[in-house]
Amino acid sequence: MAGVTKSDLRSVIDLLHDLASETAREVFPRSVIARLADLLDAENTGYCDLSASRGWEGYYVRTLPEPDWFGEVLFQWHHQDPITCGFTRFSAAPHPVAASDVLSARAAARLDLYQHTLQPFGFVDTAKLFLPAAPGEARFFFFDRRRWGLSDRDRELLVLLRPHFVLHRKRWKPLSHTLDALTSREREVLDALAAGDTNAQIAKKLWISRHTVRSHVEHIFEKLDVKTRTAAAAHVRAAPHD
């Protein structure tokens, strides 16, 4: 493997461990994207999971903050992207593809897309790693860089990582925000909470400790994506009743 070191392989293992340990609602959480950015020394790294049925909107995360104007400019000039335009030429590629693979530096610099979305940040090249997607969908990582060309070492690492990313995306399911995500005990706690019971009252009613009640409440908040008892109780009131 050209240029790949033992340290690189340890970093790959750490990244995959983090990915396997994540239970977040995001398919590829920002913490994993940031670790990938460090591994490849890419100044801006991100992931897109998009659908034509939603106007090519969907899940999108990047390591650098996005200016307010960026989305509008990207939408205006996205058709000039030599890699992703049409999602047909490279969408099934099992290896990363960089703009520098298909354009000269001079040709890339002349594109409005690059002048308005890459050059303001000092980037001169961008690369993408595609994951399998159904027709009308697009899934890919992107890597914006301040140097021209993608090294053999970076290509090898991305080829090594891709099967793991593919498997993770295939298995990943968003964490449900509905009551179906709760265990039977968590639902009992939530029903008591919605009835206005305090933690002490819930503990006495269910014959469990106050500490256990607090733990259940924390899990309920996380699963329902809420921060208050009132918001959690609203899920009970909104649920259909037989």
| Domains located in the chain, CATH noted | 6-171 (3.30.450.80), 179-238 (1.10.10.10)
Nearest to 46, CA basis, from 120, 145, 154, 192: 145
Residues 6 or more apart in contact with residue 221 via CB below 8 angstroms: 227, 232
Q: What is the pLDDT of residue 1?
A: 67
DSSP secondary structure, 93-142, as one string: -SS-EEHHHHS-HHHHHH-HHHHHHTGGGT--EEEEEEE---TTEEEEEE
State pLDDT tens for residues 82-128.
887 655 677 788 999 999 999 999 999 999 999 999 999 999 999 99
Q: What is the pLDDT of residue 242?
A: 44
Nearest to 190, CA basis, from 148, 219, 168: 219
| Pairwise CA distance, residues 21 & 18, whole Å | 5
Q: What is the pLDDT of residue 181?
A: 78
Q: What is the pLDDT of residue 79?
A: 86
**Ranges under pLDDT 50 in the chain:** 242
In which residue are the tokens 């290509």 written? 155
Q: What is the pLDDT of residue 191?
A: 92
Q: What is the pLDDT of residue 34?
A: 92
Nearest to 126, CA basis, from 50, 49, 64: 64
Q: Is this model's pTM higher than 0.85 or not?
A: no
